[in-house]
């Protein structure tokens, strides 16, 4: 069975600085998808970034980028130029690549605080 | 506007009183799913459905029932709620496929308290 581990329950970053959130996973599959979701105080789940395992290039979305290390089964999220609006709970998630399933595995989350 | 709606958004109930949380999507998505979110545990999948009349258990199905009689609706049923089902519940939907546009949309969440 697949697992997703987020070992940092809480992180803090100064506004305008850079922070990295860690995520490791375990799977025997060779093809899969990894995600970072943001959950602000409104509780809405927002997709931040998505990485396909067969792509070696790390995904980037504006100030958000990932460091995907497939052999190490590591998928960290880097937030550059942190803003107050980045304060939220962040979840790492895994999905198998098969189109015949709808199974997602989520990590336990990292609460990010942004200090003014 | 493409959206997943859930009702009610907040519910306080008592042990053993049957309840249903509704979920509806307007995107004609084949796939729908229910999650529960608990502090320190993240989101865990309860049930999912890949088409009308097709449902499968997720990781924590005990104490829950679902049905998928129509493509747009996927209600979550708690026939005899217990305090350990106090949680934040999310419904989500997506269409089948593996590209960028095939990711899931989440509803706004339902906060359930069972006393």
Is B31's Cβ below 8 Å from some Cβ in A? yes
Check pLDDT > 80 for residue B97: no
Rounded CA gap, B17 and B112, in Å? 13
Residue A93 near residue A24, CB atoms below 8 Å: no
pLDDT value for B98: 67
**Rg, Å, chain A Cα set:** 14
CA distance B73 to chain A (A): 16
Percent of chain B with pLDDT over 70: 97
**CA distances, B26 to each of A14, A95, B21, B47 (Å):** 40, 23, 17, 20
Is A100's Cβ below 8 Å from some Cβ in B? yes
CA distance A102 to chain B (A): 7
Check pLDDT > 90 for residue B96: no
pLDDT value for B59: 93
Which residues face A5 on adjacent strands? A24
pLDDT digits 0-9 by tens, A92-103: 999 987 767 788
pLDDT value for A86: 98
Q: Which DSSP state fits B104?
A: P
Nearest to B42 among A97, A101, A107 (CB): A107
Is A103's Cβ below 8 Å from some Cβ in B? yes
pLDDT value for B101: 62
Check pLDDT > 80 for residue B31: yes
Is B89's Cβ below 8 Å from some Cβ in A? no
**CA distances, B42 to each of A24, A31, A39, A107, A109 (Å):** 15, 23, 11, 6, 6
Q: Do B48 and A102 touch (CB under 8 A)?
A: yes
Res. B20 pLDDT band, cuts 50 70 90: very high
Collect all residues of chain A within an 8 Å Cβ-Cβ radius of residue B68.
none
Is B33's Cβ below 8 Å from some Cβ in A? yes
Res. B110 pLDDT band, cuts 50 70 90: very high
pLDDT digits 0-9 by tens, A28-85: 998 899 999 999 999 999 999 999 998 889 999 999 999 999 999 999 999 999 999 9
Q: Do B98 and A50 touch (CB under 8 A)?
A: no
**A111 burial via Cβ count (<10 Å: 0-12, 13-18, 19+):** middle
Rounded CA gap, B17 and A79, in Å? 45
């Amino acid at each position: 069975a697949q697992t997703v581990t987020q070992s940092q329950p809480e992180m803090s970053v100064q506004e305008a600085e850079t922070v990295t959130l860690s995520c490791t996973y375990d799977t025997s599959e060779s093809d899969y998808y990894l995600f970072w979701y943001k959950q602000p105080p409104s509780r809405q789940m927002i997709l931040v970034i998505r990485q396909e395992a067969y792509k070696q290039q790390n995904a980037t979305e504006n100030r958000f980028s990932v460091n995907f290390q497939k052999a190490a089964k590591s998928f960290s999220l880097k937030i550059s130029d942190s803003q107050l609006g980045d304060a939220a709970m962040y979840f790492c998630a895994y999905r198998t690549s098969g189109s015949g399933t709808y199974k997602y595995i989520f990590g336990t989350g990292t609460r990010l605080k942004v200090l003014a | 506007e493409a959206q997943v709606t859930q009702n009610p958004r907040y519910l306080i109930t008592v042990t053993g009183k049957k309840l249903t949380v509704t979920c509806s999507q307007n995107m004609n998505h084949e796939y729908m799913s229910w999650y529960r979110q608990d502090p320190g545990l993240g989101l865990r999948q309860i049930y999912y459905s890949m088409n009308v009349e097709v449902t499968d258990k997720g990781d924590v199905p005990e104490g829950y029932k679902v049905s998928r009689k129509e493509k747009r609706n996927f209600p979550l049923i708690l026939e005899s709620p217990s305090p350990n089902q106090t949680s934040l519940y999310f419904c989500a939907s997506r269409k089948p496929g593996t590209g960028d546009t095939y990711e899931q949309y989440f509803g706004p969440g339902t906060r359930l308290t069972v006393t």
